[in-house]
Amino acid sequence: MNSSFQKKSLGSKIFDCANVGFMLLFSVLMIYPFLNLLALSLNDGADAARGGIFLWPRMFSIDAYSFMLHENKLFSGFGISILRVLVGTTTCVMATGLLAYISTVRHFSGRKLMRIMFLMTMYISGGLIPTYLLIVKLGLINSFHVYWIPSLLNAYYMLIMASYMQNLPESLFESARIDGANELGIYFRIVMPISLPVFASIAVFSSVGHWNSWFDVVLYNSNGHWDTLQVYLRKLLLEVESFEEIKNQQIAQSKFRTLSPVTLRAAVTMVVTLPIVFIYPFLQKYFVGGITLGAVKG
């Protein structure tokens, strides 16, 4: 938000330097664990159990990665994850955006009703069992649709989007209505383009949510046909079910023998995180760096 036509004051320059310095320090703090995991993931598994690996692998090995790659379920899982993110995010962002829009139309008498109805869902839920039974009754079990239909509308996203849309000038919509535009048209042609930053940030939230979620997959799609990348990798990491419960030490021993090493855990984190980090800049450009909206707002 700075143009250089004005000469900067000294104070402003000091502020800039301090700010850059702070950011550099801050990013070291933020990125260190990531580098640590990278080093771990590239280390030999047995050796890593001895600890003491920080920024550089001690015994270099790509076993953890090749272990993940040796089954083609990794690739099918990756495909399903992408499909889920694409379908889940587009539907969620568009539908929730529309909900947010109608909940900001000032002359709409159902505005408050809609807001309260959705706000309540953020605090009150029926719990796991009723929800599970509902999904079963709706026939969404063992299908791809369970990935996007139950997450179509989101109250939290609605409130964030609405708080952005509230700041838009009402006159824009009024003139469009006078010109005979219908509400859907206004939403698609006016609201969406000028609300790109908030749509992009909600898209980030939603896609990361879809990308990371695993519980609904193991719960509703337990037949394995729709396993996402997260679930495939989680299965590799599956820890022994509550160690303390295993009283039979013979069983405990055989479970511990197959326990995945820390290196695999680290490699899984890398594989899961990197794709989403790479697509992030494409959405980020809409809310970082600023775009001139003057032209649209007119």
Partner 1 sequence: MKKTLMVVLALMLVLSTLAACSKNNNGGNEAQATPTATESASTDPVAQSNEFGWELPKKTIEFSYYAGQANPDKAEKNAKQLQQYILDKFNVKINKLVYDVKRDERQNLMLVSNDYPEVIAGMDEATVSKWVAQGKAIELGQFIDKYAPHIKEQLGDLYKTYLTDGKLYALPSYWGLLPIPDYAAHMRYDYLNELGNPTFETADQFYDILKQMQAKHPKNDKGEKTYALSAYAPVTTNTVPTLAGIWGLKEGYKVTPEGVMTHWVNTPEGLELTKFMNKIFRDGLLDPDSFINKYENMKAKMSTDRVMGYVGAWWIGWNAGHELWQKADTKWTEDKRFMQYALKAPNAEHSYMSGKNARSGNMTIITDKAKNPEDIVKWLDFSMTDIGTRLIGWGVPNTDKSTWKFEKDQPSFVDAAKQAILDSTFDYDAGELIGMDQLNLVSPDGTMKDDGKSTYWYDQNFNEEAKWKKMLNDNLKDTIYDNTFGNIPILANNPLAVTDKQITDLLETLWSKAVMSKTEEESVANFKAMQDKLNAAGLNKIEQFKSEEYQRRLKDWK
Partner 2 sequence: MNKLNQLNPTASSQMKIRNAMRSLYRERQLWLISIPMIIWVLIFSYMPMYGILMAFVNYIPGNTILQSDWVGLTHFKMFFDSPDFPLVLRNTLAISGLSILFGFPAPIVLAILLNELNNKRFKKTIQTISYLPHFISWVVVASILFALLGNEGILNDVLIRLDIIDQPISYLGEGKYFWGIITSANLWKDVGWSTIIYLSAMAGVDSEMYDAGKVDGLNRFGLIWHITLPSIRSTIVLLWILGIGGILNAGFEQQLLIGNAQTREYYEVIDTYAYKYGIELGNYSYGAAIGLLKAIIGVTLVFGANRFSKKVLDTSII
d(CA 84, CA 221): 13
- Residue 136 CB contacts under 8 Å (≥ 6 apart), including other chains: none
Tell which residue, 69, 77, 78, has the closest CA to residue 41: 69
- Residue 194 CB contacts under 8 Å (≥ 6 apart), including other chains: 168, 172, 293, 296, 297
Which residue in the set 24, 106, 123, 241 belongs to the binding site for partner 1 (CB under 8 A)?
241
Interaction between residue 218 and partner 1 (CB under 8 A): yes
How many C-beta atoms lie closer than 10 Å to residue 71's C-beta?
12
Binding mask 145-184 for partner 1 (x = CB under 8 A): x---------------------------------------
Binding mask 48-77 for partner 2 (x = CB under 8 A): ---x--------------------------
What residues are paired with 43 via a beta bridge? 60
Give the nearer residue to partner 2 in terms of CB position, either 51 or 178: 51
* Chosen from partner 1, partner 2, none, partner binding at 209 (C-beta under 5 to 8 Å by type): none
Give ∠ CA 59-65-66 in degrees, rounded to 5.
100
**Block residue for tokens 């310095």:** 21
Region binding partner 1 by CB under 8 A among candidate stretches 9-17, 111-119, 187-195, 201-209 = 187-195
E-strand spans in the chain? none
* Chosen from partner 1, partner 2, none, partner binding at 253 (C-beta under 5 to 8 Å by type): partner 1
Question: Under rule CB under 8 A, which residues in 52-81 are in contact with partner 1?
Answer: 52, 59, 71, 73
Give the nearer residue to partner 2 in terms of CB position, either 70 or 180: 180
Three-state secondary-structure class, residue 43: strand
Region binding partner 2 by CB under 8 A among candidate stretches 69-77, 218-226, 247-255, 275-283 = 275-283
Is the Cα dihedral 19, 24, 26, 30 positive or negative? positive
What is the Cα 76 distance to its own chain's centre? 20
Question: Under rule CB under 8 A, which residues in 174-213 are in contact with partner 2?
Answer: 182-184, 194-195, 197-198, 200-201, 204-205, 208, 212
Helices and strands in the chain, H and E counts: 16, 0
Interaction between residue 251 and partner 2 (CB under 8 A): no
d(CA 153, CA 94): 9
Three-state secondary-structure class, residue 154: coil
Interaction between residue 138 and partner 1 (CB under 8 A): no
Q: Least distance to partner 1 from the beta carbon of 224, Å?
A: 6
Q: Least distance to partner 1 from the beta carbon of 280, Å?
A: 20
Give the nearer residue to partner 1 in terms of CB position, either 8 or 225: 225
List of residues contacting partner 1 (CB under 8 A): 44, 46-47, 49-52, 59, 71, 73, 83, 86-87, 90-91, 94, 128-129, 132-133, 136, 142-145, 188-189, 192-193, 218-219, 222-225, 231-232, 234-236, 238, 241, 243-244, 247-254, 256-258, 262
